[in-house]
Structures are given as structure tokens and as C-alpha cells.
Amino acid sequence: MNVLLIGGANSFLNNIILKLKKEGHRVYLLTGSRYDNRPYQKVFEKYNFGYDSTCLNEIFESIRPDVTIFMGAYDSNFSWKHEEEESVNYSARMMNILMAYVMAGTGKFIYLSSSDVYSGYYEENITEDYVPTPSGYRGMVLAQAEEMCESYRKSCEKEIITLRLDNVYIVPEFQEDATDPCCELTKQALFKYSLNINPNQVYSLLYATDAVESIYRVVVANTVKRSLYNISSEERITEKELADVIAKSCGFAINIVTSSTTQKRTVLSSKAFREEFGYMAVCQTYKIIKKVVDQMKRYRRTFVYGEDRKQSLSERLNEKFSKSIRALIPFAENILAFIIVTVISQIASNSETFSKMDFYLMYVLLFSVIYGQQQAIIASTLSVIGFFGIQLAGKTGINIFLDSSTYIWIAQLFIVGLVVGYMRDTITKLRREAQEEREYLSLQLRDIKDINDTNVRVKDALETQLINQNNTVGKIYSITSKIDQYNKEEVLFYAAQTVSELMKSDDVAIYQVANSEYARLFSYTSEKAKVLGNSIKYTELGEMISDIEEKNVFINRKLIDGLPVMASGIYSDDKKLEIIIMVWTLPWESMTLGQANQLVVASALIRNAVVRANRYFEAIERENYIGSSKVMEYNAFVGIVTAYVKAKNAGLTECVVVGVSGNDALSLEDKGKQLTSMIRQHDYVGILNMDSSSIGVLLANTSVQDAKNVVDRITQQGYTCEFLEVRL
């Protein structure tokens, strides 16, 4: 199985790598940093790219992972020293990772969250059903990341699983590991010789090996029942108990001071996880806490002051011994080669064919080419010793030293060795410098390429904007000004079409506010746009209506089900909300502040026409009644019917016109009151023909099927109804 791990180096990540490799899986690693030389366990392939890199899609496509694990809350790439800045970085990078995973479309995605999403006091252990109550930026961002995973899971139908781990701790190897409550208190004890604690704070600690085993069970599971699991040891420990164990393990006096008495209890319940995967934490907390303290005490300057960790005596001896062995290997090879050459020379001296060959010269030349000047000098010296040894065996010593050819041969040997060795050392040095320069230039080229890619994207965006003029005020005005070409009866219908064209969205709906709680659908551009129905209680739309009431544009960045991706409101002169514009589809990259501002500008430009049209509808309905009959005059009623039918033919709304006759004994006023009581507030009653008193009913935003219910109610009162087809 191919597993992609995403996260910075720490012992927790290394333990996950070891577990996966031990079980026979192929592990890939995305480090999150381009210049990452931190100590990772060996993996099949390592990618040194940032989470904001444009290469993420290619990485997912090339690996096609069966499982992706993002370390999330335990990613050492995020230090959280500057929480506000880190919060923005975390959210943006989380979004990039999820988008790359969704686009690749393979395997399951596991996100590691933390119990930091909860704060306060919980009498019982916290189950997955509890709504997060974070405090601080880190907790809020982790909670938002969980919501983001859930939104992507629902909207993209992917297998995205969140594992919420309860205070994972480990015997730390590096400073990046010391972030859990146990390590934080230990650092405080080693630095200040005192501990500031809250004796009423209760939490649970989960040892890393238990966490790794739990994660692995989710990795290899064929199916999972939930999208969120709490993983905890459920072994409750107060901060006072933890401080006592740390103080006792330190071996010197630690002053324990009570700094707060606020009751805090956040212990996660892993009941759901145990029932499905059958695993419980097995590590004993108190024994491991002592190991944590011993380790941090041993490398105190590393964990307290941030200094590089010093090696132990045995580690230093092993390292020096290894270096010495590596350094002695060329010397050992040189001596071994000398012995072999000496033996060959002695054997060859008795042969007429090989007696003229200078094996020592070839031996010196060989080591000069391979190792350079240093080994060439040693080889030359050994060759001289070997030569004299062989010659002394057959001649008197005085004859060898008096023979000038001996010294010429020695000079030749050293000259060849030193010259060839010097050339080898020079070439090696030039190659090393060329390699270093190539690596430096490669990094510069990569930076230039990234900068150029960014510049190209900006240039293309500006070029498109300049050529198409889609985002300029002039273009916006040219589109919105079209609305003034329509009659007042038609403005509200074609406002949806205008916004659709401007926002480049096929799914736009306009709701007209009926009262302080409800709004009715007036026009729309697609079936998807009217998914909320013909009438909505807009006060229950949560974040959306809150933003609109604050005169802001709502952007559905959390991908909340049942809400549009963007919405805005239009207010009357007396600051009363009259119109709600909803945009239901937009490309993800278009859900930006710039696009929101564009919707604001569009709303402002069409506001006057829309508000006037709204007032006109109210006026003709109120001022064109026949007496007190609640029945509209012929001209006014025909104008409204014509507007609705035109909009229906354009696919912007639905309407049904019903002819009503009968009950001639009743006056027109009584008929009007009776019919008005049987239809909705936004339906209309009026005279159908100028030369007769026949009455028609316009049922707005209603299909023929839905209109049958209204017709049945009218028929039960003794009227005769007929569906009319209005042709323009």
C-alpha cells in the first residue's frame, strides 16, 4: 500500500514511518519545506516542497497514494510562536493540501487534530458529538480545519477522516518534540526550579506508541463508520499530580506554586474508536513521565536553552572510530597492493617476458589516479623500499647505491606519482567546485522559476482583465445599466439575469423580503438556484444573514450545506432590507474579496432600479383596487400578469393564471375579500377583461401542480376555476 505522510520532522512522525515500514507499506514523505535537512527516518521517496508549492498536484498524481496522513496539529513546520500569523499560514496550507488530494481523487485522507479544540470544564469525557469550544488562535484554527475536512468529505464525497488525539506525548529526542503538557512543565522545572500549576485542571495523556497503533488501525481498515474519532488513553491526571511526578523525578527541589484555581477538565472519550477498532491504550503514564524527565534532564541545555544536542561519550567514540576506520582504508589498501606488487615483481624477475615491466611504476600510477598525491607519496616510498629489498637479495648493497640508474628510477617514480596525484587532486577540486556552483545555480533557477510562474499568473490575470474588461467599473455599469431598459414590472425578474451575467454564475436567485422574518422567491436563473424553496425564514440562515445585516457580503468559505456560496442584501432608503441576492455556484478561486466587492458594486448599481420596481409593485397593488374590493383594475392586473408571463417564458420565474367565475350573487367586494383569504400574500386578484367583470387570480412562483391545491380551496367555496394560457 502506498502511504503519503505530510509533516515536518519529529519523533512522532518518525514512529509512524517505522510502523508503516515494519508492516510492509511503501512510505512517501512530503516535508513541507524546500530546504529541510532535519533527521527523518528513511522513506521510499522524500519530497522537499512547501505546502503552498504548485507541485502538490503532481506529487499526488505521481504517487496515487492509497492513504494520505497529514500530521496537522503535530506538524513541526508550524511553531505557533506567533499565533495570528501562523493561523493564516495553517489554514491556507491546509486548503492547498485538501485541494490537491481532492483533485488526485485517490485513497483515504487522515487528518490528525488535537484535544486543543476544547476548553473549559466537562464533567463527562468528551465524545465526538460535542461541539468544539476552542480558546486561542491555535484551537480555533484546528477546529476550523476539522470543519473544512467535513465539508470536503460531504461536498466531494471523499473518504476524509479526522482523528482527534488527546495530548500526545513522547520521550523527546529533539526540541520539536517537547510541546506536550508533560514536556512543557518539565522545561519549566529545569529552567526556573519551580512549577506554576492549576490543581483543578484535569486532562489525559496519550503516549505516542499508542497513538501510532491507533492511527495504523484506521489506515488499514477497509471501511470506517464515522468521519471523526476521538483517541485517548482516558487515564485522567491532574496538573498537580503531573507536577508531583516531575518534581520527584528531577532529583532536586522544585517549588510548586498554585497560579490558578479555575476548574478545567477536557478528557476525550475513545468509546466509539474502541467499539469499532478494539484497541485500548496500554502504556503506563507515570513510568513514561519519569523517562521523559530523565531524558530532558540529561540533555537539559538542548531542551531548555535550544542548544544543539551534544553526543554522549559512547556516541562520540563510535563516531571517531568510524571516521578513523574510513580514513585508514586507503592506507590499508595501499599496503595490501604493495605486498601483491612485490610478490608479482619477484616472480616476474625470473621471466624473460615480464622482467622488463615496471610493476612498481604501475602501482604508483594507479594510486595517484585513485587517491591523489598523499597516497602517491606513500606508494612511491613503499615501492623504493620494495625495490631495494628485491635488489639486495641478488647483489651487494654497495653496488645498488653506486648505480646511478637506481636514483633515476626513484626520481621517475616520485615525479610520476606527484604529477599525476596533483592533477587528480586539481580535477577533483574543480569538479567539487563545479558541483557546488551547479547546486547553487539550480536553487537560484528554481527561485527564478517560482517567481516567474507567479508573475505569469499575475500577468495573465491582468491581461484577461484588461482585454475582456470584465472586472472594470465601466463593464459592470454597462451590464447593470441594461436593467433600466425594462419596464418597472420586469426589473425584479431581470435583476437575477443581470447578476448572473456579471458574476459569471448560472445559478442566481433573488428573494423579496415579505416581513421581519420571511422572504419569498421572486426570480431565479436555474432550478439549483431555488433549492431553498419559494419561501424562506431568512432569520434562521445563521452566518449568512448576520453578514447581510452588517451590510457585508456573505462568502461561504466553510462550504456550509444549504447556503449559497455568496449572498448580498439590497436596502431601501430607510435602511430596511428589501432584497436578498444569492449566488449558488462560483469557481473556488473566484470566492475572493475582489469578487465580493464586485457583487457589492453590482448591488449598488441596480439598487435604485430594483427598489423603484419594488415600490411600484406595492403601489399598483395598493392604489389600483376597485373600491375596497381587494380586486385590481384591469390595466394594473394585466401589467403584472404580462411581466410575470414574460419572466416565465425567459425561465426566470414560475406563475399560473386562473380564471374564476360563479357566485354571482356576491358583490365584487365580497368576492375579492373571499378570494384574497384563500391565496398567499404575494398572489394577485384582478379583472381579466375590460368589458366584463370576470376575475382572474395570478399565483406567483407556483407551478400548475402546486396551484391545484389553491384551486381546490377556491372550488370548495362554489366557484368555477379554469387554468388560462396567456400568450403575449
- Say yes or no to pLDDT of 367 above 80: yes
* 59 closest CA partner among 96, 19, 13: 96
Long-range contacts of 452-460 (CB under 8 A, 24+ apart): 453/54
Classify residue 449: in a domain, yes or no.
no
**Number of structural domains, the chain?**
4
- Say yes or no to pLDDT of 471 above 60: no
Which of 97 and 648 is assigned the larger pLDDT?
A: 97
Q: What residues are paired with 582 via a beta bridge?
A: 509, 567
Cα–Cα distance, 477 to 469 (Å, whole number): 11
pLDDT confidence of residue 285: 83
Q: Is there a contact between 93 and 86 (Cβ–Cβ < 8 Å)?
A: no
- Say yes or no to pLDDT of 629 above 60: yes
Q: Which residue has the cell 578513523?
A: 324
Q: For 251-292, what is each residue's pLDDT tens digit? A: 888 888 888 788 889 999 999 998 998 877 778 888 888 888
358 and 393 within one domain: yes
pLDDT confidence of residue 572: 75
- Say yes or no to pLDDT of 231 above 90: yes
Instruction: Among 15-29, 155-169, 298-312, name the one with the lowest average pLDDT.
Output: 298-312
412 and 431 within one domain: yes
What DSSP state is assigned to residue 625? B
216 and 174 within one domain: yes
Cα–Cα distance, 358 to 375 (Å, whole number): 19
202 and 63 within one domain: yes
Cα–Cα distance, 68 to 41 (Å, whole number): 17
Domain boundary among 424, 439, 454: 439
The CATH number of whichever domain residue 517 belongs to comes to: 3.30.450.40
639 and 557 within one domain: no
115 and 17 within one domain: yes
Which of 533 and 161 is assigned the larger pLDDT?
A: 161
Instruction: Among 55-59, 601-605, 652-656, name the one with the lowest average pLDDT.
Output: 601-605
Question: What residue numbers bound the domain in which 427 lies?
Answer: 315-439
Backbone phi and psi for residue 723, each to the nearest 5 degrees, phi listed first: -75, 125
513 and 407 within one domain: no
pLDDT confidence of residue 470: 47
Which of 222 and 404 is assigned the larger pLDDT?
A: 222
- Say yes or no to pLDDT of 207 above 60: yes
Q: What residues are paired with 256 via a beta bridge?
A: 195
Cell representation of residue 596: 465580493
555 and 537 within one domain: yes
Mean pLDDT of the chain: 81
Classify residue 457: in a domain, yes or no.
no
Q: For 557-587, what is each residue's pLDDT tens digit? A: 777 888 888 888 888 766 778 888 898 888 7
424 and 492 within one domain: no
Classify residue 578: in a domain, yes or no.
yes
650 and 594 within one domain: no
321 and 293 within one domain: no
- Say yes or no to pLDDT of 111 above 90: yes
The CATH number of whichever domain residue 631 belongs to comes to: 3.30.70.270
47 and 167 within one domain: yes
Share of the chain above pLDDT 90, in %: 12
Share of the chain above pLDDT 70, in %: 84
Cell representation of residue 458: 499575475
Q: Is there a contact between 7 and 215 (Cβ–Cβ < 8 Å)?
A: no
Q: For 633-678, what is each residue's pLDDT tens digit? A: 888 788 888 888 888 887 778 888 888 888 777 777 788 888 888 8
